[in-house]
Amino acid sequence: MTTDTTTQGTTPGATAPGQVVLDARGVTMRFGGLTAVRNVDLTVNSGEIVGLIGPNGAGKTTFFNCLTGLYIPTEGEVRYKDAVLPPKSFKVTAAGIARTFQNIRLFANMTVLENVLVGRHTRTKEGFWSAVLRLPGFHRAENASRDRAMELLEFVGLASKADHLARNLPYGEQRKLEIARALASEPGLLLLDEPTAGMNPQETRATEELVFAIRDMGIAVLVIEHDMRFIFNLCDRVAVLVQGEKLVEGDSATVQGDERVIAAYLGEPFDGSPGDDEAAEVDAAEVHADAPRDAAPGKENDR
Amino acid sequence: MTTQTTAPETPGTPAAPAPAGLIGIPPHVGRALAVGGGALTIISTFMSWTWTSAFPGDLTVYGYPGGLQVLVLIGGVLTTLFALAGYGVKGLKYVVPSGGDAALKFAALAAFATAWYTVIAISVELGGVVNLDPGGYIVAIATLAAFVGALALPFEHPAPDPIDPDDSAWEQFKNRSSHKWETVKTAFSARPPRPVGKLPTYVEILVIAVVMALGLLVFTYGIGTQYDELFVGFLITAGFGFAALNKSGLVAQATEITSRHQTITVWGAFIAAALFPFTQTDDQYATIGVYILIFATVALGLNIVVGLAGLLDLGYVAFLGVGAYAAALVSGSPSSPFGVHFPFWAAVLVGAAASLTFGVLIGAPTLRLRGDYLAIVTLGFGEIFRITANNLDGTSGPDLTNGSNGISSIPDLNILGWDLGATHDILGFAIGRFANYFLLMLLITAVVVLVFRRSSDSRIGRAWVAIREDETAALAMGINGFRVKLIAFAVGASLAGLAGTVQAHVTYTVTPEQYQFAGPIPPNSAFLLAAVVLGGMGTIGGPLIGASLLYLIPNKLQFLGDYQLFAFGVALILLMRFRPEGLVANRRRQLEFHEEAEAPTVLSKTGA
């Protein structure tokens, strides 16, 4: 491979800072009667790392799938660099959005290098005839792809394992390989679905560095994560999704201080001193002890 | 279970059992027995085994071996070689790069099984052991002695799993028997061979040439076996003999050398195959050769669809039929409604184009389905083709295919003045009609091999494998799944059509009944798939070997008769249980199925 590592700075998919890369407007996703995502707006600017958090089942992954063409939003539209996203996931990747999966989805029985080469699919053109006839451009394109793939493997630190089967990599390295594979499609926006799930603190730190490095390549990043420390260290902006709706969006401090967010994760805090309600209820019950009850016994404690 | 219950019985780590043999004979006696038995086996094959030349073959001659004796001789030679290698005889260590003991066991087993099969067959068929000549007794004793001696050789016994005293009797029995099975397996297993050092290129090419010549020899011998017993003996010897060579590490070393020179290997295999007609004196076995080649080529085409792209196609034989019908219709046959006679190149193009069209037509609506649903739909389309061809006879539908009578009297091909129907003399060898077609078919096979090799190691091939591995992830990587699958389907269909154009001329007649889902005669869809699975999915050698076996076995073993399909069912089940990756293992697949094995995790050559 070439020693010219400066190519990493000028990634083909990179955009000028400040430009809106992703613009989701009023995205709603219904499955039959269930509304998984309701009217969510989200923008990602280039050079930005945006976090998406929310309790389990909040619709984060569904929203991700809407952004990547796996689902077509029932309402609303998603624009990538001012163009409405095509409704097929492979066209979305070709347009410039790459993603990783929450549960790692590598091509387990292909080698590490081949996995990354598959990621190059949209950026190469050689078809069946080119492969069979070995037309002049074939070897050139193949070698260029291999060089680029090795560069990416070097970037994530897997170059020495290029010939291993993907299934034989340890967990953390599989995550890295998935990121390298996504980067191979030269995206302008990278969507990471829980990139640190199941990692130890050291690995999480390393992933953080990796995401910063990807940002520095000029690629915008949208990341779903449950690890709050990771998210708040990493992200320029954080959006909170609760029960399919966007609750709040802002920088780390805003989100961390927002009571609704805390409520969503921890439940409603008590107003006043604990036990007051119960005490009042008992009092009331004693007062009305003789009066006929209209509430069923089970509903006694309903407020 | 808790560790406490066993702690008093096995204090500390249990010491590994001392190396010992499977049979309680001192190892040095065992080795001597093996050498002596092997040598005696060799001598006995030069003697008479029975008094009559009527059965099985002629084993009555003193002075040279014949028929089954040759096979036993090979087993005996291998046994003696590996046994002597165990004594550290100078020069023989090159024969056993993995150590000779496991190889010796298999070689002795090969000789023992073949010899005893022969002896028992003689006794049963001719009525009693009195029919055996001294040679017969000697070979029986010699091979038994060699085998017993080989089993006495020491090996490292695996440590047994501790038995939980709380287990039921059945569980304890299972534990013990699984340990016994492990022990037997260990007795027959060898350590990985030492790597081949860097040899001069001409030596490596010579090795490849020898391997190819050996392959041709084995294939020619198998195809030329004249009676059932000889073919059974051939299967036994070939099977255990190959296992012996495999355990000796020679196969691994040969594989290492061939993978260094892949292009030369492919050319060598092509030349070896092209030499096959020159080994034949008449057209009898060239006929089998050409049918095997047609079957193998179509199976290889199917391997693109099933092995690479992972699309289970149960109606693949229809594409062979489309190609054959297309070629037959433009061949100038009197029963063809078109009175045209295309030259061969045009007929090939028509056949491939017709299959391609059908492939796309059938693939476009069905490839949206995944997995089992696709299999069912393709099965249906395969039958639809056959029934349609049956009905296009002028009464049930338009007159196109001449119904169940098919298109007959297809004239022989004539390529550039070379009449494939006539016998030619090349360098003193008579090349008959079927030998001509064998050579023509070999060119088609070469095209299919080329397409398989080149497309699998490219962007499109990786996309196929990615679709097979995980379709959702492949889509997310920007692969247009439908398009890529359709290409695989269309390529597979065209290659089958290509083979069909030659098949139409070889068989003279094309009828709908040749293209069934399942039937006693290959190629049919079920056998094609069986050839791919048996041989090894995603490999080139696999379908070729699988198809050869699946064609030869029913062809040679007439006594199987109606039990043929049953026997295949049993064989496939056993194979899937003990070797799910197929006879020829794709290294990738081997890793996939044997996770716990000590197989290397590195694929040194991508696209193995």
pLDDT digits (tens, 9 = 90+) for A243-294: 888 888 888 888 888 888 888 877 765 565 656 666 677 677 776 665 544 4
Q: Is the pLDDT of residue B329 over 60?
A: yes
A117 touches chain B (CB under 8 A): yes
Q: Pick the residue from chain A with its C-alpha nearest to B479.
A: A90
Interface contact A228, partner B, CB < 8 A: no
Sheet holding A97-99, edge to edge: A97-99, A189-193, A220-224, A49-53, A237-242, A245-250
Kindly report the average pLDDT of chain B as a whole number: 82
Work out how many CB contacts closer than 8 A connect A with B.
123
> What residues of chain A lie within 8 A of the CB of B478, using their CB?
90, 93-94, 119, 121-122, 185
Q: Does B73 touch chain A (CB under 8 A)?
A: no
Gap between the Cα atoms of B220 and B44, Å rounded: 25
Check residue A303 and give its pLDDT: 41
Question: What single-letter DSSP state applies at residue A103?
Answer: S
Quick one: average pLDDT of B61-69?
Answer: 79
The answer for B127, left when phi > 0, alpha when psi is -120 to 50, beta otherwise, is: left
Nearest to A121 among B450, B455, B478 (CB): B478
The residue of chain B nearest to residue A122, with distances taken between CA atoms, is B478
CB-based contact B502:B444 (threshold 8 Å): yes
Vertex A275: Cα angle to A274 and A281 (nearest 5): 140
Interchain CB contact of A102 with B (< 8 Å)? no
Secondary structure class of B218 (helix, strand, coil): helix
Is residue B220 packed enough to be buried (19+ CB in 10 Å), middle (13-18) or exposed (0-12)? Answer: middle
The amino acid present at A196, given as its one-letter code, is T
The yes-or-no verdict on residue B560 having pLDDT over 60 is yes
Would the pLDDT of B589 be above 60?
no
- pLDDT-derived band at A13 (thresholds 50, 70, 90) equals low
Q: What is the pTM of this model?
A: 0.82
Please tell me the least confidently modeled range out of B8-12, B76-80, B251-255, B437-441.
Answer: B8-12
Report the percentage of chain B scoring pLDDT > 70. Answer: 93
- Please judge whether A111 and B606 are an interchain contact, meaning their C-beta atoms are less than 8 angstroms apart: yes
Q: Is residue A119 within 8 angstroms of chain B, CB to CB?
A: yes
**CB atoms A99 and B458 under 8 Å:** no
- Residue B334 makes CB contacts below 8 A (sequence gap 6+) with B409
Of A68, A98, A118, the CB nearest to B462: A118
- B214-229 confidence digits (pLDDT tens): 888 888 888 888 888 8
Range in A138-147, B94-103, B174-183, B250-259 with the lowest mean pLDDT? B94-103
- Residue A43: its H or E element: strand A34-45
- Tell me how far the alpha carbon of residue B557 is from its chain's centroid: 16
Distance, in angstroms, between B450 CA and closest chain A CA? Answer: 7
* B472 closest CB neighbour out of A93, A105, A121: A105
| Residues of chain B found within 8 Å of residue A193, distances taken between Cβ atoms | none
- Subunit contact A132:B455, Cβ cutoff 8 A: yes
Question: Measured between CB atoms, does A89 come within 8 Å of chain B?
Answer: yes
Question: Pairing relation of β-strands A189-193 and A97-99?
Answer: parallel
Position of tokens 């398009």?
B483
Q: Does A104 touch chain B (CB under 8 A)?
A: no
Mean pLDDT of B152-173: 80
Looking at residue A277, its pLDDT comes to 63
Cβ–Cβ gap A90/B473 under 8 Å: no
* Per-residue model confidence as pLDDT tens digits over B100-141: 788 888 888 888 888 888 888 888 887 777 777 788 888 888
A185 → closest Cβ in B457, B478, B592: B478
Asked whether residue B406 carries a pLDDT value surpassing 50, the answer given is yes
With beta carbons under 8 A apart, name residues in chain B contacting A121.
459, 462-463, 466, 477-479
In the predicted model, is pLDDT for residue A68 greater than 50?
A: yes
Interface test with chain A among B360, B456, B470, B477, by most A beta carbons within 10 Å: B477
CA distance B568 to B574: 10
Is 60 exceeded by the pLDDT of residue B606? no
Closest-approach residue (CA) in chain A for B602: A164
- What pLDDT is attached to residue A274? 57
CB contact residues (below 8 A), chain A span 141-170, against chain B: 141-142, 145, 163-165, 167-168
Do B459 and A127 make contact, defined as CB atoms within 8 angstroms?
Answer: yes
The ipTM (two decimal places) reads 0.82
Contact A118 B466 (CB under 8 A): yes
A90-140 pLDDT, tens per residue? Answer: 888 988 999 999 888 999 888 999 999 999 998 888 888 888 888 888 889
B450·A114 Cβ contact <8 A: no
Please tell me the predicted confidence (pLDDT) of residue B1.
Answer: 43
Of B470, B589, B606, the CB nearest to A105: B470
The answer on pLDDT for A54 being more than 50 is: yes
Band the pLDDT of B582: cuts 50, 70, 90: confident
Segment B403-410 mean pLDDT: 82
